[in-house]
Structure 1
């Protein structure tokens, strides 16, 4: 049974799930909010669903708060190859994850202490235009969902700090962040991300 996270909640992957993970998939999904069409013939054509291009990204930080690597739509793989983005979804249409970032936990370099996952709108659409946004963590070995965090915050922001995956002596833990931000790319959000290390 996957863990349903609430804002600010922390979970130890091994202690709270009873399992050790070598590789996980961080999935992001969203839908464009259906806007009612206006005009005389609108009853024939139905609602006006638009396309929203959100981008999932992750920054890899050391214990001093320095970003040592990054993965996003312009750099789909970390330098060491332990983190990989599966590709950019330009619309949010379709069921399931719209974008995924795969993390080989057993290969993340020792100097990387935290991975901060963010989502941003490159087209500058605000979260007022988005429904059903979520992020979830899946066991890459069997496709089983480990945890899910529903991103319910809507508003005039263009980005969210979703989740932090951080290393401790006892293993990897997760913190559901869910804080709003302004920015189109990972670079716009770096300072904001440091607040959640």
Structure 2
């Protein structure tokens, strides 16, 4: 049973059978904006959301960032599926538009925090996007084994007026990885700004 993430929630990376998650996927699914035309028709406006991941050491220094600009981490533990520039143009197909995979066993020993965040590349307001959800699951980008947690951002009024948000942070404690759900919009306009915001406020 997937957990519906709430802000500030901290969870252990345990599957339903009690074993620890070692490989996870963070998938983001969103739709194109619908606008009414002059003559009553509906036009679809592409939405370019960017899922990214920033890695920090124990001193909170940013040591790596994975995004549409760099699809693999230096240690090869984190992989990005590639840039989706439009979102679902024909309604929700139930599939993730962008997926970032993380293998905890391959992470650099210096990695202490792994933060996930989203930026609206064209500055489109989250409130105008018909649906946008994030889920953390075990499996592959093409095959979901078990959904671990999920978060709906399109229907959260706190995201109105925002174009960037911090999903959450995986953090290491006593050599075990846990997850802290942040779920907070930011004032950032660019990916690089969000990396700094996380560093200053969310680790």
Pair in the same fold by TM > 0.5: yes
Alignment partner, residue 147 of structure 2: 145
| Aligned-partner Cα distance in 2 for 1:61–1:16 | 29
SS at match of 1:97: coil
Structure 1 unaligned segments of length 5 or more: list them. none
Paired residue for 1:69?
64
Deviation at 1:165, TM superposition (A): 1.0
Tell me how far apart the structure 2 counterparts of residues 17 and 27 of structure 1 sit (CA, whole Å): 22
Please state whether the residue corresponding to 2:95 is helix, strand or coil. Answer: coil
Shift of 1:138: 0.9
Instruction: Give distance in 2, aligned partners of 1:34 and 1:171.
Output: 44
Corresponding residue of 1:36: 36
1:32 touches 1:129 (CA, 8 Å); kept in 2?
A: no
Q: In structure 2, what is the equivalent of residue 98 of structure 1?
A: 97
Alpha-carbon RMSD across the aligned residues, in angstroms, is 1.9
1:146-170 deviations in Å (ceiling 9; x for gaps):
1112222432211001111111116
Match of 2:165 in 1: 160
User: Which residue of structure 1 aligns with residue 43 of structure 2?
Assistant: 48
Q: 1:12 to 1:128 in 2, by over 3 A?
A: same
Moved more, 77-86 or 150-159: 150-159
Number of residues paired by the alignment? Answer: 192
TM-score normalised according to structure 1 size: 0.89
Deviation at 1:174, TM superposition (A): 1.0
8 Å Cα contact 1:121-1:183 kept in structure 2 = no
Tell me the alpha carbon deviations over residues 6-56 of structure 1, each in whole angstroms, 9 at most, x when there is no partner. 11111011388722122111111122332233x3x31xx3x2321110000
- Equivalent pair of 1:130/1:154 in contact (CA under 8 Å): no
What's the TM-score, normalizing by structure 2? 0.87
